[in-house]
Structure 1
Amino acid sequence: MKSLHAQHHALADTSYQLTVLSEAEAAGARLPAFAHKLRESGLLPLRPTELAVMQVNVGKMCNQTCRHCHVDAGPDRTEIMTRATMQLCLNALAQTTIPVVDLTGGAPEMNPDFRWFVEQISALGRQTIVRCNLTIIVANPKYHDLPEFFAKHGVRVVSSLPHFSAARTDAQRGEGVFGRSIRALRMLNAVGYGVEGSGLLLDLVYNPSGAFLPGSQVGLEREFKQRLLREHEVVFNNLLAITNLPISRFMDYLLESGNYESYMQKLVAAYNPVAAANVMCRSTLSIGWDGQLYDCDFNQQLDLNVAQNAPQHIRSFDAAALQDRAIVINQHCYGCTAGAGSSCGGATA
């Protein structure tokens, strides 16, 4: 029997990596190829507009195993970025004026060189984003001072909280996660994160718990702020609504539940050319734990490196060549262009 991921590739037989799909392939497609939609929008080939964010996955090890994790992160993952590869990232960063470095995982804090890396990024005068799962802060005493460390270096903290109710959060991220997340949020609030006028940004990430698109980011943010303040005395700055992309664990869920075809049809029907013009891959370079280069974090998890005419590894970083590349696309890209759009920074349209 085929694995779930092998079934995915069979189902998504219209996927491809670059520019234009042939007329014969398009005619036989079960779903419109993403390139066809981009062509209709005048966006094919899709190219970078700027290089504003260096997103670095420092390892897949995590203290949690969340249902919808597109990285398949967990306690048993051993892929960890070395200090030598981090130094290559810093060397590349120093050649540019890229203002933001976005650190992801797994739980990025579990990398033994995480704090050193943040310190070096700060020394270069760049903004650091840390994608913190919150529970890591309370998981072990050695992480209890993370809020103070983040504040010292002006880190922008972005954390997943699928819902303001314990039941829905725990269903997606594991039993007891909501309660531990609230404890961590209070620790962050205590040093100024999310507090008006502090300058310390704390953003929460919402993603749906099933095979549907997120609601209005503005409306969700309003409701999250009201409920978290009233029920838990927790404050934060922004809510980022993100669409679940049909890859990794969420793809497994879609296939197991028989929702793959209907979910893909929802994404295609909700295609928004404004969101397509603002996809994050046009301003972001994604770097894997081993230094390989990708157009986005999702392509990274699918092993879809940047176009072959561009540098493939951070050791060969060339800003001009990367700026001139065609962005690698596939059927999962519909997830970033549906409705109000989706990115690591939330809605895009």
Structure 2
Amino acid sequence: MKSLLATRPEAANPVFQLDVLNQARRQGDSFPAFAGKLREAGLFPLQATGISTLQLNVGKMCNQVCKHCHVDAGPDRKEIMTRDTMRQCLAALRAAPGIRTVDLTGGAPEMNPDFRWLVEEVSALGRQLIVRCNLTIILANKKYYDLPDFFARHGVRVVSSLPYFTASRTDAQRGEGVFEKSIKALQMLNAAGYGLPGSDLSLDLVFNPSGAFLPGNQAALEKEFKRRLASYGISFHQLLTITNLPVSRFLDYLLESGNYDTYMSQLVQGFNPAAAANVMCRSTLSVGWDGQLYDCDFNQMLDLPVGGAVPRHIRDFELAALAGRAVVLNQHCYGCTAGAGSSCGGATAA
């Protein structure tokens, strides 16, 4: 892949990213087509089995610039979901009572000016609400200090990324001082009742590997995280392991470090049919900040909208058509099916 580096445009360019993934497959067929792997496993075409979760990316603005971020989020990003688009999402939810979970992500979703309004509206519909909080946003500005109490009032399930239980590895991935701020934010969430034994206020942590390797065993990592974070007086419910997909900044890292071929080989060799059968795109519909529809957040960042004769914008939502759609595939999909599998809910196979 060295020939690509000399003229590589910004890694966030979806056309470039797909070219890297597909050119690698064409060169000597060293990486077989993902669709072929599914066919061997009897899973092609990969069909959605319904929609139980509506995931909304409410904007790419973020107070952090993380090295592994597949959204290429940061303080300079201007893409933001408007209240009109949020209303269209709420209309879809009212038309589909079987969608029980709404998953708010970003960027830092809390930075959307209509974030709290949206949380209140979804809460009023009686749906389970997940907010993917990067923790440091809670301390970024005084206007965010009350977020733990706001979350608690609306029964939000908080899912927070913490790269590791040490400052050195966390700060290396997320920036200087992030670990200290994350610890403080976790303590604030605990003080609001989150993550405590027996509490209904769910606090889960997310672990992404810091390099070009797959995450370790989820149960073992959870045990170690709980032991190490207990020294700070912190408790949480679950640890979710998520594999880094070769998209955006992580793809850029793989190319710059010369790890692309090795990492893709790990993903291909680790293909697990059980994980493939349980991929999140079969039960999740992803909504972009502009209302466009995707099978997952990764397809969204690669500009791969839902395919076939189905609505492509949330304003045109049709449950019957979208619930049985064929999922759009590409080589990055290996990331969700390697080893124990990966999803926004963590591992998907034993």
TM-score normalised per structure 2: 0.94
Structure 1 residue ranges without an equivalent (≥5):
16-24
**Following TM superposition, by how much is the alpha carbon of 1:8 offset from its aligned partner in structure 2, in angstroms?**
4.5
Code of the residue aligned with 1:201 in structure 2: it is S
**Following TM superposition, by how much is the alpha carbon of 1:13 offset from its aligned partner in structure 2, in angstroms?**
2.3
Q: Does 1:286 align with 2:286?
A: yes
Q: Does 1:12 align with 2:21?
A: yes
Determine the C-alpha separation between the residues in 2 that align with 1:234 and 1:298: 31
**Following TM superposition, by how much is the alpha carbon of 1:161 offset from its aligned partner in structure 2, in angstroms?**
0.1
2:242 aligned partner: 242
**Following TM superposition, by how much is the alpha carbon of 1:10 offset from its aligned partner in structure 2, in angstroms?**
4.0
* Contact map agreement 2:307 2:328 (CA 8 A) in 1: yes
**Following TM superposition, by how much is the alpha carbon of 1:309 offset from its aligned partner in structure 2, in angstroms?**
1.1
Determine the C-alpha separation between the residues in 2 that align with 1:217 and 1:329: 26
Superposition map of 1:96-111 within 5 A: 96=96, 97-111=98-112
1:175 aligned partner: 176
2:40 aligned partner: 40
**Following TM superposition, by how much is the alpha carbon of 1:28 offset from its aligned partner in structure 2, in angstroms?**
5.4
* Contact map agreement 1:158 1:204 (CA 8 A) in 2: yes
* Contact map agreement 2:17 2:302 (CA 8 A) in 1: no
* Contact map agreement 1:270 1:339 (CA 8 A) in 2: yes
Determine the C-alpha separation between the residues in 1 that align with 2:22 and 2:235: 45
Determine the C-alpha separation between the residues in 2 that align with 1:205 and 1:249: 18
Determine the C-alpha separation between the residues in 1 that align with 2:10 and 2:151: 39
Distance 1:141 1:107, change over 3 A: same
* Contact map agreement 1:108 1:130 (CA 8 A) in 2: yes
**Following TM superposition, by how much is the alpha carbon of 1:197 offset from its aligned partner in structure 2, in angstroms?**
1.6
2:9 aligned partner: 3
Q: Does 1:273 align with 2:284?
A: no
Distance 1:2 1:227, change over 3 A: closer
Determine the C-alpha separation between the residues in 2 that align with 1:253 and 1:26: 21
* Contact map agreement 1:14 1:331 (CA 8 A) in 2: no
* Contact map agreement 1:220 1:239 (CA 8 A) in 2: yes
Superposition map of 1:86-235 within 5 A: 86-96=86-96, 97-230=98-231, 232-235=232-235
Distance 1:91 1:341, change over 3 A: same
* Contact map agreement 2:22 2:331 (CA 8 A) in 1: no
1:255 aligned partner: 255
Secondary structure at 2:22 match in 1: coil
Determine the C-alpha separation between the residues in 2 that align with 1:248 and 1:11: 11
* Contact map agreement 2:292 2:314 (CA 8 A) in 1: yes
1:82 aligned partner: 82
Code of the residue aligned with 2:68 in structure 1: it is H
Structure 2 residue ranges without an equivalent (≥5):
1-6
Distance 1:315 1:214, change over 3 A: same
* Contact map agreement 1:291 1:314 (CA 8 A) in 2: yes
